[in-house]
Structure 1
C-alpha cells in the first residue's frame, strides 16, 4: 500500500516531537524548514555535539512533513544516510525505517539514531550496512513502500551501483524520492540514466537552497504519495 497525502495537517509533527524532547533537556533538536537545522551527534572524545545537516536532507525532511504525507506504518529505507537526520525525521513521522550507509559510517549513525529518537521509537529505526550494488542479498527485493536519498548523486562512478540498488529495492508500488542539486553534467547524466529505468518527475524545488526533489517509480506509474 502506497503512502497517501493526508487531508489534514498532522498535529504531532516531527518538529513538535523534537521540540518536546528538547524541552526536557534531552539532546534532540531539529528545526525543519530553517537554515540552521542541526542534529545531535556523539563524537568520540568530544561527547555530544551539534552538527549542521546537509541542505538536501533538510529540504526533503521539510517536504515530507509540510506536504502532510502520511508515513504511518509505511516501510521506508534511506540510502547513504550520513548523520541520519532524514531517517530520524521519517521515524518520528510514524514510519518503520531502515537507515543505511557503508560500514565505516554505521557506528556514528547508530549513535545519532539512539541520541535523537525517544526510546519507545528505537525499535522502529534499524541501522543497517548497505554498500550499493554489493549487499543486496541482505535486502528482500521490493520490500519497501518508500526509498529516500538526500545528497547521494555526486560521484559518477557510483551511478551504476546506485541504480542497481534502486531496481533491487523497488516493487511496482514503491516510490523513490531523491533530493539533490543539479549543477554539473554528471548530475544530468544520472537523471538520464534514472529515466531509462523509471518514470521520473520533479515534485519540488527549493530555490533558496537550489535543491530539487525527484520522484521515481517503475514503468509509467505516476501515483501520488
Structure 2
C-alpha cells in the first residue's frame, strides 16, 4: 500500500497568510506527521514535497502517478474574508466512489479528534483531484482566518495528523475487509476455485474462466 501525501503550496507559493503564519508551513508540518504515523503502521508514503519548495500542481500529480500510489491525500488550510467562518471540510472528485468514501472517513475522524465544526464532504474537480489516476482527496483542515481555528492549527498539528491518519487507516481496513468478503462469496458460489489475495493480479486466462462460469459456459 502506497499513499501519496501532498502538503499544499510551498516555496514561492505561501498559500494563505495570516500575520506571521503561512499556510505552506502548517500544511507541511501536518503532512510530515501524517507520514510518520502511517509509516509506523507499515503503510508506505511518498511525499510530493518534504521541505519548503515550489512544486506546481502538475508536478504533484506526476509524483503520485509515476509512483503508482494507491491513494492521494492533499493537505490544506482554509481561509475566508469573514473571520467567523470555521470548521473542517474534505473534498473528493465527484466521479470517484473510493475517493468519496476515503474523504468521509477522514472528515469524520478529524471532527471527532478536534471537535471542529463539521462542514462535510464536498465534491469538486480541483486539479489534483482530477489529474491523479488514483482516488484522491483534499483536506481543508481548518480556517486560518478564524482565530480559534488558527490556534488549533498551531497548537494541535499532531491531532490533525492523527485524525487524517486514523481516517485513512480505517478506510483501508474497510476496503480490505469488503474485498476479502467478496472473494469468499465468489468462492462459495463456485465462481472461483480458491481464495485469492485481494491485491493479487488476475491473468486473462483466469478472467476468462470466471466470465465463462458466470455465463454458465463451464
TM-score (norm. length: structure 1): 0.27
Answer with 1 or 2: which has the greater Rg: 2
Give 1 or 2: higher helix fraction: 2
